[in-house]
A = this chain, B = another copy of it.
Amino acid sequence: MRDTYHEELDGISTSLVEMTNQVGSAMSRATTALLDADLTLAEMVISNDDAVDARYRDIEARAFDLLARQQPVASDLRVLVTSLRMVADLERMGDNAVHVAKIARRRYPMSAVPPTLRSTVLEMGNAAQEIVAKAGSVIAGRDIVMAAQLEKDDDVMDELHRQLFRQILDDSWSDGIEPAIDITLAGRYYERFADHAVSVARRVVYLVTGERVPALP
């Protein structure tokens, strides 16, 4: 049987996994809100961010409390400090979902996504879902094979991001400035969302292998 201390340590990991589900769900709804000009869904993502922030503060407080009370060393210390980093990444992922939802709200009742970009944005939304789901599995199972797959998904996201720019900058673009700006920002939010998930996965790899986490671009 595990002691209370290690149960608390495991509890933090469980909460981090739940937080990946939470921000994944936020980005999934934000994508639908963006594509379908669904104001209700957009508002839901925006107001639910309070719950993401509350979980962030809760995990932070628990990690800090364990650091102070238990004065862990070696691997437990590394797990706690890494958890503090991961929870910050996850909080930012929630913010990126909110930013996407706010674009949807700003353009309502129009859709911010011109028909020609619909499939690229949809694919970026799907890539975000796959990446965040993998991030949850990476945390839950300390799964470094899954972490490597996640990096590949992030390459796909980067390619979709480049494709988005090519489409906006193509001579055939006829949707004007405002949609170009909306989509430029939305593309950036998806790309950052994925980058933070990569960061989460790399921190787990570091915990497992001791291999230094490279800085994100």
Interface, chain A (partner B; CB < 8 A): 53, 56-57, 64, 67-68, 71, 73-74, 77-78, 81, 84-85, 88, 91, 95, 165, 168-169, 173, 177-178, 180-181, 184-185, 188, 212, 215-217
* Number of copies of chain A assembled together: 2
Inside 8 A of A212's CB, which chain B residues have their CB?
Answer: 57
Inside 8 A of A95's CB, which chain B residues have their CB?
Answer: 215-217
Report A57 CB to chain B, min CB distance, Å: 8
**Docked complex Cα distance between A22 and B91 (Å):** 27
**Docked complex Cα distance between A41 and B74 (Å):** 43
Contact of A77 among B67, B73, B169 (CB under 8 A): B67
Secondary structure dominating the interface of A? helix
**Docked complex Cα distance between A212 and B168 (Å):** 42
**Docked complex Cα distance between A82 and B30 (Å):** 32
**Docked complex Cα distance between A113 and B26 (Å):** 35
**Docked complex Cα distance between A84 and B86 (Å):** 12
A-B contact pairs, 26 of them (CB 8 A): A53-B215, A56-B215, A57-B212, A64-B77, A64-B81, A67-B67, A67-B77, A67-B81, A68-B74, A68-B77, A71-B71, A71-B73, A84-B84, A84-B85, A85-B88, A88-B88, A91-B215, A95-B215, A95-B216, A165-B181, A169-B177, A177-B180, A180-B180, A181-B184, A185-B188, A188-B188
